[in-house]
Structure 1
């Protein structure tokens, strides 16, 4: 062994004894916080991306959004896109909870769709040719799936939560006004039900705005949209069309269906896509009642209720 690897230390008695120098180990323990947690673990992604979303503003949009996309692109090392799915979930939850900033989050989603690495893939999701969907197309697929899942599972829960809390929330509002009058505006504490109802209302409004943004993006090119976009818009309307087709949003829905009508007449799409669009037109004409539900046995009361809904002022029974 080379003498250069030793340090001479004085020893009592006057002699010298060679002592081997300390070397840094590859897995040396460190006092740095979180050093035992892998850099791409789900816990780290959750903490880091949440922190970035809390800092996201229009003034700092470019730098913060670039960092969020960097975290999403860690899915390059994965075969199931789990980190990208996690980042989309965090963005989605933040967007639905902060309705006033929906335009900023829509801008973030568009940038992510354009800049997600083409090396990000999911072997479980394939196109019509049997190839894994990658990059921006995969991001859009994940985002639409998230929207649909939130409507199918979460929307019902939110409505139930809001309905169950409505009476208690009204009592809290009355208590607030009473206390403000009696105590000169002193702060009042509210029940958990009140805050649950308020959060449910915010998320519902945010979710609606996200849906409209998704629809606008999917219908942005009616000349040559691609099968993926047509399938996505048809599935989206089949899932959430009834919830979106309200009197308040009727004018927007009419515009969407006008563009879909133009799309169905385009020579650039095949017959399978045209029939998918026609199915959605027919679904709207039936007040969003599925064909099998119409054919199924029903009560007289249900028949009268469906007729009443069709005769509501402003409801269009034919596709735009």
Structure 2
């Protein structure tokens, strides 16, 4: 274990550290699947020997993944290799790992995403008025980051950096508002299912998956949802029927300009439909007690309480990883 030479102090960043972060940013800005190995070696060559540098590189990778969700698989792969390559740090007799800081960042983004969506949806207060365009711009930004976060979490699970329990709790959270569902949550749910469905849909999770898809079927016929979202739900149902094999050719990596252009078109479409309704305040995720080998019931956040079902324990090299709203992955 490598002892950090410099103690982290909140708000204090040295000139040397700023130079490191600029160097890392320059490398990550050039990252593509084609030059992955070359640039990975360049990042490793940067002296990541303290918590400040480690936290900085994680934040930069995370921001790139959230703003460019098409490339989440590549960024998750980059995280997987960095977690294996970088030494653990020790500060104040506490073990600090790349994986722990990365997954704490996932937790922060979950909470931030909920705050931003609530902020965008709440009524105007006092003299502060928001135009429809300003409100939709906030929604669009929160939506983009949430979708990026969900997709990155799914890709990290596929790399066994997150446990199966976390995936089920994310699914239940996104399915929580069945009668008056939030379209952003549904879109995130469909994205997560398409990312991890093949891995998570196994016999020991049959009851959970059955409950999820009963809810998805109900929502796919909810005429209060846009036709785009209903079609997305039906596509997810069809994807499972087809054993999680895409019928259509999966899109390859896009240029960042194409990603941004599609987002602007999607935003214009949502403005055209109008946003005259507000969504209910979401209940916070409850990810159960740490260390339990039992997954909470599939209806725990959706009404009804069937018996708990044990899930297979798939080793990720760190079996103490769990998820909770306030202490997500803090037990690593």
TM-score by length of 2: 0.48
Pick the structure with greater CA Rg: 1
| Larger proportion of helix | 1
